[in-house]
Structure 1
Amino acid sequence: MLNLRVKDEIGRLQAVILGTAISNGPIPTLEEAYDPKSMEHIKAGTYPLEKDMVKEMDAFATVLKKYDVKVFRPTIIEDCNQIFSRDIAFVIEDKIFHSNILPDRENEFEAIQHVLDLIDPEKLIRPPEEVHVEGGDVMPWYDHIFVGTYTADDYSSYITARTNKAAVEFLQEQFPHKKVKSFELRKSNTNAKQNALHLDCCFQPLGKGKAILHKNGFLVEEEYQWLVNFFGEENIFEITEEEMYQMFSNVFSISPDVVVSEKSFSRLNNWLRHQGFTVEEIPYSEIAKQEGLLRCSTLPLIRE
């Protein structure tokens, strides 16, 4: 049996589901793309190749295993993009929540059934249909749960709007002892630099009381300011529009002092080392072309 436990974003990782790029399928058409960054690369003919993405994910798996993390992988579905396991489910405390994701991604959830079989079925929660939520928008942080949302009336016209108001209410009901704090995110179907696909595309809490933030990812300045006050200005690494586009905030903590980051993120990686973190640098820039990076590719199951 797997006894789930995730209270935050940084506790020493013991078990995780890492997505897979094997049998990733043909290059999608523009109509099939889920986000503006993928569309950009489809148009430019620079969409990532499967062999390059497999290599990047293997490098990630190697680092995780170096720290004795138990790494599960999804069952391979032929011609299916299964890289971003964070989208399909998420764990808070000892419960795993089945994300209500874009309907044509339901089979990605079925591909982790061999892991779900190791979990007490009572701990698997399927939110009601009106609750739209993806793991990239949900961050457990001790007595808080941070949630990225989009609640404007034109919600349904954005394929990039993934988590709604009903999700915030649902999570608050599930965890009455925690404070669910939501943040309105900037959305665009066409401009990747003006689109925070998930909360982890413009914000990431780290160990040592630090955090990465991108102001323009937030629609409401007061909500951005709340995070600045919560972590303290001196503890924040503010990223530029270009750095958000490159996915600087989507790094992944293995423990409070070990962070996995993309090797080209020199400004961030130098700052992290300066703050006393061990930075495990790996190549991940091909996967980044699909508007997702390291946190997006992982589904933590157990953290100390």
Structure 2
Amino acid sequence: MIKLNIKNETSRLRAVILGTAKSNGPIPAVEDCYDPKSVEHVLSGTYPKEADMITEMDAVLEVFKKYDVKVYRPEVIENCNQIFSRDIAFVIEDKIIRANILPDREEEVEAIQYICDQIDVNNRIILPEDCHVEGGDVMPWNDYIFIGTYSGEDYPDLITARTNMDAVIAIQELFPEKTVKSFELRKSNTNAKENALHLDCCFQPIGKGKAIIHKNGFLVQKEYQWLVDFFGKDNVFEITKDEMYQMNSNVFSISEDVIISEKNFTRLNTWLRSEGFTVEEVPYAEISKQEGLLRCTTMPLIRD
């Protein structure tokens, strides 16, 4: 049996699901893309190649091996993009919550069923159908759960709006002892630089009480300010619009002081090292073309 335990984003990682780029399928048609950044790369002929993405994910696998983390992979489905394991489910405390994702992605859930089967059936949660949620929007942070959402009337028209208020309320009911704090995110179907696809595309807490944030990702100024005040201005690394577009906030913590980051994030990585973090740099620029990075491709199961 797998005994799930996730209280935050930074405690020492012991077990994780890492997505796979194998048999990733053909380059999608524009109308089949889920986000504006993928569209951009399809149109410009720079959509990532499967072989390059496999190489990138292998580099992350090596880092996990180095730190003695148990890694599970989804079963490979022919011609299916299974890179972003964070989208399909997430863990809070000892519960795995299955995301109600875009209907086209149901197969991805089946590919991790063998892992779910090793989890106590009482700890496997499926939210009601009207609760839309993806793991990139959900961040357990000790006594808090931070959730990115969008409640505009145009929600049904935005394929980039992935988590609704129904899900926020459902998660609060599941964890009554925690404070659930939701944040309205800026969405755009057409402009990747104006689109925070998930909360982890514009914010992420890291170890030592620090956080990475992008102000423009938040629709409501005071919600952004709440986070800055919560962590303390001196503990927050503000990223630019271009750095958000490159996914600088989407790094991944192995522990309080070890972070996996993309090797081209020069300004961020320099700051992290100056703050005493060990930075494990990997190439992930091809995967980032699909508007997801390190946090999106990993789904932690157990942290100490």
TM-score using structure 1 length: 1.00
Residue 244 of structure 2: SS of its match in structure 1?
helix
Superposition deviation, residue 79 in structure 1: 0.2
Task: For 2:120, give the aligned amino acid.
Answer: D
Q: Which residue of 1 aligns with 2:125?
A: 125
The runs of 5 or more residues in structure 2 that have no matched partner are none
Please show how residues 128-207 of structure 1 align to structure 2 within 5 Å.
Answer: 128-207=128-207
Residue-by-residue CA offset, 1:26-62 (whole Å, 9 max, x unaligned): 0000010000000000000000000000000000000
Q: Which residue of 2 aligns with 1:92?
A: 92
Q: Which residue of 1 aligns with 2:36?
A: 36
The runs of 5 or more residues in structure 1 that have no matched partner are none
**Partner Cα distance (2:107, 2:29) in 1:** 20
Superposition deviation, residue 185 in structure 1: 0.1
Task: For 1:32, give the aligned amino acid.
Answer: D
Task: For 1:156, give the aligned amino acid.
Answer: P
Residue-by-residue CA offset, 1:68-114 (whole Å, 9 max, x unaligned): 00000000000000000000000000000000000010110000011
TM-score using structure 2 length: 1.00
Task: For 1:24, give the aligned amino acid.
Answer: N
Please show how residues 72-91 of structure 1 align to structure 2 within 5 Å.
Answer: 72-91=72-91
Superposition deviation, residue 117 in structure 1: 1.3
**Partner Cα distance (1:122, 1:55) in 2:** 37
Q: Which residue of 1 aligns with 2:3?
A: 3
**Partner Cα distance (1:207, 1:49) in 2:** 33
Q: Which residue of 2 aligns with 1:58?
A: 58
**Partner Cα distance (2:148, 2:113) in 1:** 27
**Partner Cα distance (2:26, 2:129) in 1:** 30
Residue-by-residue CA offset, 1:210-254 (whole Å, 9 max, x unaligned): 000000000000000000000000000000000000000000000
Name segments (4+ residues, structure 1) moved above 6 Å.
none
Q: Which residue of 1 aligns with 2:263?
A: 263
**Partner Cα distance (1:154, 1:148) in 2:** 16
Q: Which residue of 1 aligns with 2:233?
A: 233
Superposition deviation, residue 121 in structure 1: 1.0
Q: Which residue of 2 aligns with 1:287?
A: 287
**Partner Cα distance (1:8, 1:87) in 2:** 17
**Partner Cα distance (2:279, 2:126) in 1:** 36
Residue-by-residue CA offset, 1:167-209 (whole Å, 9 max, x unaligned): 1100110000000000000000000000000000000000001
Task: For 1:249, give the aligned amino acid.
Answer: S
Residue-by-residue CA offset, 1:105-151 (whole Å, 9 max, x unaligned): 01100000111111111110000000000000000000000000000
Residue 295 of structure 1: SS of its match in structure 2?
coil
Residue 17 of structure 1: SS of its match in structure 2?
strand
RMSD (Å) for aligned C-alpha atoms: 0.3
Q: Which residue of 2 aligns with 1:23?
A: 23
Task: For 1:177, give the aligned amino acid.
Answer: E
